[in-house]
A and B are shown apart, each in its own frame.
Chain A
């Protein structure tokens, strides 16, 4: 929290994107989170991602529930649409909004408390429905907003600030997303933007449910010695399994990568995810292989990061349900509501 607004000046050496917008045009109001919060860093990466992808602010919908993490949509892309709902219900809100207007870019911001406790069921069903959205889980192992109680993602043995170890088994959102059929599963770290940025960009451009778990340390309640979600612990135990670059379709360099090759995967719109290095025995498009590999590294005590699984198939909830090509939000009232005559006729059929 600071008392002055961020000065309205920008570096003249930083250009504009394809829309003529500057990086700073994608900012929101100034953050009220604790100084040093990982969430603020994720926010900065999201701003960069939208800017670099030249997505028009009014085509973005920011969805969230409750938590420090859930507050962050206020801190990026001021001019986007947004809905801040009740605790853990962001997935349902995003699903509904997406059902009504499938043409927006949906980004949902949640926390480990929001997604893995009160909202666990919601989270699972959004994956199951394959809602076309980027779901970012800012994972700090605690309920930050309510002052640092362990959340469901806290590791066994991780100690609270007062030194009490956690005894409950954690729910691992990455493993969960992999088993529930998410079509894009990744993990990043707020302290490594170089890795986080391409993950965000690929997740935003992915069609279908993209899940991105971001280890995002809580400086106030969970950045001490003994915590397994601190900056230092994450840096010491981080294992970047599959580093990627995201190559947007508009970018000229996309031509220099071979389509369909093992190290670059073409997405539904022709943009490309390029894997910089993939271990020998690992296929990021094979869910089973991804799961096995992930689990084995995790058992060795490593915090696995990178784009772990990708199904570039390009289907989503609307394809599954064969909805109309025109978003409901753009249809005329008459088309949306057939009127009582038609309804009566329909009812007749079931008599």
Chain B
């Protein structure tokens, strides 16, 4: 293999699995260390610089970082990254003094944003400090988009939501509530310098099977129903509820039903558990509340008696892989009738852009979605940008945030007459030795064997009393103290200087997980089989050094299981290994890449 180029910021960034997995590249290990040092406000601020909504995300994030977390590969369970974020948000001091100053004299550029979800809010967050005048048009009477209307208050308290949204709106964003934009053409006529579309994926999918129209009174579309509950238009449901679909929306629907009078609640899944879309923790939380999850039941028709819904008929199916197409195919074994009072459809969301005229230069593709550039977030009409769920279909908050950051960079470049691609500021990185003394490092390198801490929940009886009682209680100080130490500090990189190595094997011998090998070079496939321990995880890179001075062999490191204990560096007599802190420098609108600040 060619010697690894560790000067490319991607190489070490990828070693920080959580940060690499986070769409907004939140510096997780650093914020965890700040929590460990009791610096909650700094930790919160570091979070906010990349993910904008730490308190909200600390409760609701989809957490792609956690399945990626190295700790999973070491002891089976990821670090509770998300919960720790909440610790920082809950325990921080007021941070008003840290908010950027908003120029009194504006830069003369006016930006219109359609929809007030996390995507639009992030754009405002990044552009307001640069002197832009941002105007949001929101169809509903409140801010926050689905974060407010669809994520139930028992998962996300309104106070937390509002505090973090207000940090942005209070920068002086002009917002028009109850203002649905009905025509892009008309909006264009108002002469904004750029327009950002952050309207989400607002349409719940339909289930067109017999009886749908006739039983409409007792069939609810999940996201609309949750919104109606949020605004108080709905405050009750029948005792027996069938929720169709098994994604995260279904989880919120069934748990909300539980709080509105439902007693016998079933979530009906067409497939079996491995295919469920809901996050494992959401499934767990629903089951804890005694919601029944029924597998392999495929809806056949709504059953009515005297014009009223009395239940649904399902086909009992089993699934097998079709040899030719490779897709799953169902075989029907039987049908079954399940009685119910209400049905909630939670089988997905669609985008809808009835308000964008098709002849104004915005190209739509064959899914009837606007063509949006993956890097610039601009449509085929200059000056119109799309982000969040509106861009490529429903995702989650953290993706909406990252879209917002990227769109803000583009909008800024666009308004300043810079290229959206060539003038896009690149990422950069910093690498600083973590050595403090003979055996002292600027991080806690000792491996802590604590198991993942379990989140405590409000008692079952108590939590159903009111819709807004937050179920998760947050980590107590002791849990926090354990959990922060589980983090392996993957950003403290093992940095190697081949020319210093005398091939004494000390590092190889000490490594607890056998990730280092000195051997003759070869191609990657071959090398992976010749290491101290087989390197079978192909998603994890091999670091290969230049030829070593004494024998010309190479040092190979399999990044997969390194616990960043620093023992290789402690054992190395020549300091060929050093532990160096990697900091990703992330560019934001109007700024060169910089280390997110926490001071």
| Interface residues of A, Cβ cutoff 8 Å to B | 1-11, 13-14, 24, 34-38, 40-41, 43-44, 190-191, 193, 217, 219, 223, 231-232, 235
Besides the known contacts A217-B504, A231-B503, 6 further A-B residue pairs in the complex with CB atoms under 8 A apart: A6-B510, A9-B75, A9-B447, A9-B563, A10-B513, A36-B504
With a CB–CB cut-off of 8 A, which chain B residues contact A43?
509
Kindly state whether residue B368 has any CB partner on chain A within 8 Å: no
Which of A5, A9, A191, A217 has the largest count of B CB atoms less than 10 A from its CB? A9
27 A–B pairs (Cβ distance < 8 Å), ordered by A: A2-B439, A2-B567, A2-B570, A2-B571, A3-B440, A4-B447, A4-B565, A6-B567, A7-B446, A7-B513, A7-B565, A9-B75, A9-B561, A11-B513, A14-B514, A35-B506, A35-B570, A36-B571, A40-B505, A40-B509, A41-B505, A190-B504, A191-B503, A191-B505, A231-B550, A235-B503, A235-B550
**Distance in Å: Cβ of B223 to nearest Cβ of chain A:** 42
With a CB–CB cut-off of 8 A, which chain A residues contact B304?
none
Chain B 554-588 near chain A by CB (<8 Å), digits 1 or 0 = 00000001010101001111100000000000000
Which residue of chain B lies nearest to A191 when distances are taken between CB atoms in the complex? B503
Complex Cα spacing A8 to B565, Å: 11
**Distance in Å: Cβ of B579 to nearest Cβ of chain A:** 13
From B439, B446, B505, B533, contact of A1 by CB (8 A): B439
With a CB–CB cut-off of 8 A, which chain B residues contact A35?
506, 570-573
A10-B512, A11-B561, A36-B571 known; A190 vs B505 contact (CB < 8 Å): yes
A4-B565, A14-B533, A36-B571 known; A231 vs B502 contact (CB < 8 Å): yes
With a CB–CB cut-off of 8 A, which chain A residues contact B561?
9, 11
**Distance in Å: Cβ of B496 to nearest Cβ of chain A:** 15
Complex Cα spacing A6 to B446, Å: 8
Kindly state whether residue B416 has any CB partner on chain A within 8 Å: no
Please tell me if the beta carbons of B504 and A191 are within 8 angstroms of each other in the complex: yes
Kindly state whether residue B380 has any CB partner on chain A within 8 Å: no
Complex Cα spacing A9 to B73, Å: 11
Complex Cα spacing A151 to B377, Å: 73
Please tell me if the beta carbons of B550 and A4 are within 8 angstroms of each other in the complex: no
Which residue of chain B lies nearest to A7 when distances are taken between CB atoms in the complex? B447
Please tell me if the beta carbons of A219 and B573 are within 8 angstroms of each other in the complex: yes
Complex Cα spacing A265 to B208, Å: 80
A40-B506, A190-B505, A231-B550 known; A11 vs B570 contact (CB < 8 Å): no
Complex Cα spacing A43 to B447, Å: 23
Complex Cα spacing A235 to B553, Å: 13
Please tell me if the beta carbons of B571 and A4 are within 8 angstroms of each other in the complex: no
Please tell me if the beta carbons of B506 and A37 are within 8 angstroms of each other in the complex: yes
**Distance in Å: Cβ of A78 to nearest Cβ of chain B:** 15
Interface of B is mostly: loop
Kindly state whether residue B338 has any CB partner on chain A within 8 Å: no
Which residue of chain A lies nearest to B505 when distances are taken between CB atoms in the complex? A41
With a CB–CB cut-off of 8 A, which chain B residues contact A1?
439
From B502, B515, B536, contact of A36 by CB (8 A): B502
**Distance in Å: Cβ of A32 to nearest Cβ of chain B:** 12
Please tell me if the beta carbons of B506 and A13 are within 8 angstroms of each other in the complex: no
With a CB–CB cut-off of 8 A, which chain B residues contact A232?
502, 550
Kindly state whether residue B207 has any CB partner on chain A within 8 Å: no
With a CB–CB cut-off of 8 A, which chain A residues contact B565?
4, 6-7
With a CB–CB cut-off of 8 A, which chain A residues contact B440?
3
With a CB–CB cut-off of 8 A, which chain A residues contact B534?
13
Complex Cα spacing A43 to B502, Å: 18
A11-B514, A232-B550 known; A41 vs B509 contact (CB < 8 Å): yes
Complex Cα spacing A3 to B506, Å: 16
A36-B572, A36-B573, A235-B551 known; A223 vs B502 contact (CB < 8 Å): yes
**Distance in Å: Cβ of B152 to nearest Cβ of chain A:** 39
Complex Cα spacing A191 to B548, Å: 13
Which residue of chain B lies nearest to A43 when distances are taken between CB atoms in the complex? B509
With a CB–CB cut-off of 8 A, which chain A residues contact B503?
191, 231, 235
**Distance in Å: Cβ of A111 to nearest Cβ of chain B:** 18
With a CB–CB cut-off of 8 A, which chain A residues contact B502?
36, 219, 223, 231-232
With a CB–CB cut-off of 8 A, which chain A residues contact B573?
34-36, 219
Which of A24, A35, A190 has the largest count of B CB atoms less than 10 A from its CB? A35
Kindly state whether residue B449 has any CB partner on chain A within 8 Å: yes
Please tell me if the beta carbons of A13 and B533 are within 8 angstroms of each other in the complex: yes
Please tell me if the beta carbons of B533 and A11 are within 8 angstroms of each other in the complex: yes
**Distance in Å: Cβ of B478 to nearest Cβ of chain A:** 22
Complex Cα spacing A18 to B288, Å: 44
Kindly state whether residue B445 has any CB partner on chain A within 8 Å: yes
Complex Cα spacing A36 to B74, Å: 27
Please tell me if the beta carbons of A41 and B504 are within 8 angstroms of each other in the complex: yes
**Distance in Å: Cβ of A51 to nearest Cβ of chain B:** 12
Complex Cα spacing A223 to B75, Å: 40
With a CB–CB cut-off of 8 A, which chain A residues contact B567?
2, 4, 6-7
A1-B439, A41-B504 known; A7 vs B570 contact (CB < 8 Å): no
Please tell me if the beta carbons of A44 and B504 are within 8 angstroms of each other in the complex: no
From B439, B504, B563, contact of A219 by CB (8 A): B504
Complex Cα spacing A38 to B506, Å: 8
**Distance in Å: Cβ of B15 to nearest Cβ of chain A:** 17
Which of B75, B449, B506 has the largest count of A CB atoms less than 10 A from its CB? B506
Complex Cα spacing A223 to B446, Å: 31
Please tell me if the beta carbons of B505 and A8 are within 8 angstroms of each other in the complex: no
Complex Cα spacing A13 to B558, Å: 12
**Distance in Å: Cβ of B537 to nearest Cβ of chain A:** 9
Which residue of chain B lies nearest to A14 when distances are taken between CB atoms in the complex? B533
**Distance in Å: Cβ of A114 to nearest Cβ of chain B:** 22
With a CB–CB cut-off of 8 A, which chain B residues contact A34?
573
**Distance in Å: Cβ of A197 to nearest Cβ of chain B:** 12
Please tell me if the beta carbons of A231 and B504 are within 8 angstroms of each other in the complex: yes
| B residues 76-98 in Cβ contact with A at 8 Å | none
Complex Cα spacing A44 to B75, Å: 25
**Distance in Å: Cβ of B589 to nearest Cβ of chain A:** 42
With a CB–CB cut-off of 8 A, which chain B residues contact A191?
503-505
Chain B 417-450 near chain A by CB (<8 Å), digits 1 or 0 = 0000000000000000000000110000111010
Please tell me if the beta carbons of B570 and A41 are within 8 angstroms of each other in the complex: no
Which residue of chain A lies nearest to B576 when distances are taken between CB atoms in the complex? A36
With a CB–CB cut-off of 8 A, which chain B residues contact A10?
512-514
Please tell me if the beta carbons of B550 and A44 are within 8 angstroms of each other in the complex: no
**Distance in Å: Cβ of B241 to nearest Cβ of chain A:** 43
Complex Cα spacing A193 to B439, Å: 27
Which residue of chain A lies nearest to B449 when distances are taken between CB atoms in the complex? A8
Which residue of chain A lies nearest to B510 when distances are taken between CB atoms in the complex? A6
Please tell me if the beta carbons of A9 and B506 are within 8 angstroms of each other in the complex: no
Which residue of chain A lies nearest to B440 when distances are taken between CB atoms in the complex? A3
Complex Cα spacing A200 to B547, Å: 29
**Distance in Å: Cβ of B366 to nearest Cβ of chain A:** 46
Complex Cα spacing A228 to B439, Å: 31
From A5, A9, A11, A36, contact of B574 by CB (8 A): A36
With a CB–CB cut-off of 8 A, which chain B residues contact A9?
74-75, 447, 512-513, 561, 563
Please tell me if the beta carbons of A8 and B447 are within 8 angstroms of each other in the complex: yes
With a CB–CB cut-off of 8 A, which chain A residues contact B505?
40-41, 44, 190-191, 193
With a CB–CB cut-off of 8 A, which chain A residues contact B508?
44
Please tell me if the beta carbons of A7 and B509 are within 8 angstroms of each other in the complex: no
**Distance in Å: Cβ of A236 to nearest Cβ of chain B:** 9
Complex Cα spacing A24 to B445, Å: 20
Complex Cα spacing A8 to B506, Å: 18
**Distance in Å: Cβ of A147 to nearest Cβ of chain B:** 17
**Distance in Å: Cβ of B405 to nearest Cβ of chain A:** 36
Which residue of chain A lies nearest to B504 when distances are taken between CB atoms in the complex? A36
Please tell me if the beta carbons of A13 and B504 are within 8 angstroms of each other in the complex: no
Complex Cα spacing A223 to B502, Å: 10
**Distance in Å: Cβ of A74 to nearest Cβ of chain B:** 15
Complex Cα spacing A35 to B575, Å: 10
**Distance in Å: Cβ of B569 to nearest Cβ of chain A:** 9
With a CB–CB cut-off of 8 A, which chain B residues contact A6?
510, 512, 565, 567
With a CB–CB cut-off of 8 A, which chain B residues contact A37?
504, 506
Which residue of chain B lies nearest to A234 when distances are taken between CB atoms in the complex? B550
Which residue of chain B lies nearest to A23 when distances are taken between CB atoms in the complex? B514
